Amino acid sequence: MTPGTSQPVRVRFAPSPTGYLHVGGLRTALYNYLFAKHHNGKFILRIEDTDQSRKVEGAVENLISTLSWAGIPYDEGIDRPGDFGPYVQSERLDLYRRHAEELIRFGKAYYCFCTPERLEEVRKKQIAAKLQTSYDRHCRNLDKDNVESLLAAGENHVVRMKVPLDGELSFEDEIRGIVTIAYQVLDDQVLLKSDGFPTYHLAVVVDDHHMQITHVIRGEEWLPSTPKHILLFRSFGWETPVFAHLPLLLNPDKSKLSKRQGDVAVEEYRAKGYLREALVNFVAFLGWNPGDEREIFSLEELVREFSLERVGKSGAVFNVEKLNWLNFEHLRRKSDVDILSMLREYLAASEFAATQFDDAYLLSVISAMRDRVSFVREFVEKSPYFFKPPIEYDPTVVKKRWKSETPELLRRLIGEFSSLGNPAKEDFEAALHRTAEASKVGNGEIIHAVRLAVSGIGTGPGLYDILFLLGKEESIRRIAAAIHTLG
């Protein structure tokens, strides 16, 4: 339970299936989930598909699988039936119609028979007169008999909400405080369309009531609709849920977060190899903070700490640098074995799908590289030489490290390596030192050239770690190949 309601907490994420899951949608889902779990309540997934023209094939399945990838489970939804289903609006049309008729009986709504042509006329006149465009309430006061005969004649009609002509409506938003709006600015909103489908406004209120939603937590873009919803709740004589409108998501230049400036689909971040833990942690901070310096949170910690009181009003900037940093931090917190299974998954979809690597080998690669990568794919991108021999050598490193005497030094090194039996890391090191000493050069003369020969590049983990990981035979093969190629 929570202040503001006397019932157990029930919240919902109510996306329209229009395609991908927007990061803003993920934030709404996450905040609802965190709020529900913090209060031992229920989190519901409701599909709002009343606008059939915007419906996209496969969008619902995609939503469900993306939420499941993100690790945000819901208690009730299409595939998790509860007591308040169906959880898809297009399967609840009767309910909306019944309630629309009820509102007409209460005198809170009315039939409107205006044709699209007439409405267009009205609109044009209002525009020409520089007035705000809205329905001119032509059918608001039709007499009862007239309405009856038009209905009997099967005239096309919609149902409109009867907004009071004066006065104002106030409500308290958990995040924004008191919001007041004059009824005059509200249109006589269509509630039921001529095709029998409800508009979003009617469906959302009917469902929030019947699904016993206690808190409506959603993006700020819905704030202008909220007075209409509250008016509807009151018209039905239903208890109004608590409202909380989350701040806008902004690009770093403070414009509204848009597809043009970067990725907004959760699916994109998933495909790029971001960890769910990092993305969830990142999204949690888009509007909320714990009130202190801590930044790395697991989902369980977020559930424990989340509260609407700590959600701010001002827009939240979407900063990819921070997301990358969080990915690094969350990857660092994974065990080698967890990383192994992610690396295997990555390899299975890569050019190395058919190459055999045993677990012990991959685990060694992981421990050598794990402090140097922010993404699982970087194990391969930053150290491809652990997965295949170099096919080329970084020219700037060649210029700096490959001298005329290098081939001869490396030939001697190969000789030393060959005589080693089952060498440990230290044995490679000692063999290299012996070669340098016998050749009267510093160790560095050989170390950098060997690194180049076995990896093709000039940076990476310790050379002896690399040699040990590759093993004696492979190291010798690669050094010989470099002598052959670079001369």
Residues engaged in binding ligand GLU (CB under 6 A):
14-16, 48, 204, 218, 222
Strand order in the sheet with 10-13: 42-45, 10-13, 215-219, 242-246, 168-173, 177-182
Per the annotation, the verdict on 472 as an active-site residue is: no
CA distance to 37, 222, 232, 380, per residue, from 225 (Å)? 27, 5, 11, 49
> Judged by CB, which is closer to ligand GLU: 243, or 385?
243
Residue 272 CB, nearest distance to ligand GLU (Å)? 25
SS3 call for 279 = helix
Residue 1 CB, nearest distance to ligand GLU (Å)? 22
Residue 28 CB, nearest distance to ligand GLU (Å)? 7
CA 431 to chain centre: 52
> Judged by CB, which is closer to ligand GLU: 48, or 277?
48
In the block, tokens 């700490």 appear at 305
> Judged by CB, which is closer to ligand GLU: 90, or 439?
90
> Judged by CB, which is closer to ligand GLU: 200, or 306?
200
Which of 259, 272, 388, 403 is an active site residue? 259
Residue 244 CB, nearest distance to ligand GLU (Å)? 11
> Judged by CB, which is closer to ligand GLU: 316, or 453?
316
Q: Which residues contact 446 (CB under 8 A, 6 or more apart)?
A: 409, 410, 413, 432, 435, 436
Q: Which residues contact 360 (CB under 8 A, 6 or more apart)?
A: none
**Cα separation, 203 vs 93, whole angstroms:** 9
Residue 151 CB, nearest distance to ligand GLU (Å)? 30
Residue 226 CB, nearest distance to ligand GLU (Å)? 9
Q: Which pairs count as long-range contacts for 318-323, CB under 8 Å and 24+ apart, including other chains?
A: 318/23, 318/249, 318/250, 318/251, 318/252, 318/257, 318/262, 318/286, 319/252, 320/262, 322/282, 322/285, 323/269, 323/274, 323/278, 323/279, 323/282
> Judged by CB, which is closer to ligand GLU: 39, or 46?
46
Q: Which residues contact 479 (CB under 8 A, 6 or more apart)?
A: 410, 413, 414, 417, 450, 453, 454
Q: Which residues are annotated as catalytic?
A: 259
